Amino acid sequence: MRKLNLSILMLAMLAFGFTSCKKCLNCSYVYEDDHGDHSHERTVELPEVCGSNSDLDKAEQEYETQFNLLPNGISFTCARD
């Protein structure tokens, strides 16, 4: 019985470990939407990317490359969960 309880505990820890190790990348950029007499700050959320650290590094690099093609005055940020 003790061996069964230990096996269940190990499976639970393994399952929790896989769900808690999921890493995601959330990026967005902010720009001013100018209407002549007034402007609004707009935030654009980019699609979330989840996977290994190398997947997230690659996705962040691709977003940064695309961001560098945008006009100046636009701020770009990324955060990992």
Domain residues for 34?
23-80
Please report whether residue 60 resides in a domain: yes
Please report whether residue 3 resides in a domain: no
Say whether pLDDT at 41 is over 70: yes
Average pLDDT of 44-55? Answer: 92
Pairing of strands 49-51, 39-45: unpaired
Number of independent structural domains in the chain:
1
pLDDT-derived band of residue 60, with 50, 70 and 90 as boundaries?
A: very high
CA distance 55 to 33: 32
Percent of the chain at pLDDT above 70? 74
Higher pLDDT, 70 or 25: 25
Backbone phi, psi, residue 68, to 5°: -65, -20
Average pLDDT of 47-54? Answer: 93
Average pLDDT of 13-35? Answer: 75
Say whether pLDDT at 18 is over 70: no
Backbone phi, psi, residue 33, to 5°: -95, 100
Please report whether residue 43 resides in a domain: yes
Please report whether residue 1 resides in a domain: no
Please report whether residue 69 resides in a domain: yes
Say whether pLDDT at 51 is over 70: yes
